[in-house]
Amino acid sequence: MSWFYGILYYFQKRGFEVCERIAERLGIRARTVRTTFIYLTFVTLGFGFALYLFIAFWLKIKDLVYTKRTSVFDL
């Protein structure tokens, strides 16, 4: 199990190093860059899910409105 923590530590260190270098380049704190990445991740995932629900709702409404009627007596 210690090899797992070693790999986890390696990726965390390298990932935070990326945020630190971006923050250093922009002249802001690394914590701000990390939280911005986290918020953007939730926003983009939330947007995709909301788009999926909107399309599903729209298709359901379309199917209810544009049902194919075989004769006049189906009204």
Structure confidence by residue, pLDDT tens digits, 32-44 = 988 898 888 888 8
pLDDT of residue 28: 92
pLDDT of residue 69: 64
R_g over Cα of the chain: 25
pLDDT of residue 50: 86
* pLDDT one-digit tens code per residue, 49-75: 888 889 889 888 887 777 666 666 655
Q: Report the alpha-carbon distance of residue 36 to residue 22 in Å, rounded.
A: 12
pLDDT of residue 74: 59
* pLDDT one-digit tens code per residue, 6-31: 887 887 777 667 888 888 899 999 88
Query: Tokens 């390696």 belong to which residue?
Result: 10
